[in-house]
Structure 1
Amino acid sequence: MIVLVLKYLTPKGFRGITLFPFIILVNRKDREDAVMLNHERIHISQQIEMLVIPFFFWYGTEFLFRWIQYKDKHLAYRNISFEREAYANEKNLSYLKQRSFWSSFKYL
């Protein structure tokens, strides 16, 4: 995992993005935000489990499906199964130590 601060590579309105093996943040102070980094580390684990490229295909397909379903981009993003898992567990800093491969399936 490599943490970079490059505000122009993240989509507008977001604080960070994870593109294995990089976590790209908008603000330097977020490098010290344990919850933010945990959220992004959860995405790193998801990407590794799905062998990276299939992760992004699934993520994009699910986003489009949710966008059609909810007719709202932000609501669609928040309901992507990978985001639901990351948001639900970002404050549990030991989550990745206890997380199993099957954990992400309960957020589908």
Structure 2
Amino acid sequence: MPKGYLGVTIFPFMFLKTEDLKRNAVLINHERIHLKQQLELFVLPFYILYTIEFLCRLIQYKKWDLAYRNISFEREAYGHEKDLDYLKSRPLYNVFKFIRN
């Protein structure tokens, strides 16, 4: 697990830093949002877009954490991770509403 991260989702798997994190409903919801994003974009394009956007944000912000937090995929996941019913009503391709300059 990369330093500073509690979970990573690589479709169809969710990797958590520790076993007890399986009970963290907010973290699990965050990672499930990423699973939905990956499915919508047929997995490989998700990773390509995620990487490109991260690199653009890194150039823009010049700080790893700030760049990571401003990726549209992360903005959607962090913005809705506490809403445990979000995925039940989430519109298709909703992540694109989070793209900004």
- Give the Cα separation in 1 of the matches to 2:86 and 2:29: 9
Q: Alignment identity in percent?
A: 55
- Give the Cα separation in 2 of the matches to 1:38 and 1:52: 18
Aligned to 2:52: 61
- Give the Cα separation in 2 of the matches to 1:59 and 1:65: 10
Unpaired runs of at least 5, structure 1 = 1-9
1:75 aligns with 2:66: yes
- Picking from 11, 15, 25, the partner of 2:2 is 11
For 1:23-62, list aligned pairs within 5 A: 23-62=14-53
Provide runs of 4+ in structure 1 moved above 6 Å.
none
- Give the Cα separation in 2 of the matches to 1:49 and 1:103: 10
- Give the Cα separation in 2 of the matches to 1:62 and 1:43: 15
- Give the Cα separation in 2 of the matches to 1:47 and 1:60: 13
Name the amino acid aligned to 1:30: L
Aligned pair count? 99
Name the amino acid aligned to 1:17: V
SS across alignment from 1:23? strand
Unpaired runs of at least 5, structure 2 = none
The structure whose RCO (Cα within 8 Å, separation 6+) is larger is: 2
- Give the Cα separation in 1 of the matches to 2:45 and 2:2: 21
TM-score in terms of structure 1 length? 0.90
- Give the Cα separation in 1 of the matches to 2:94 and 2:49: 16
SS across alignment from 1:65? helix
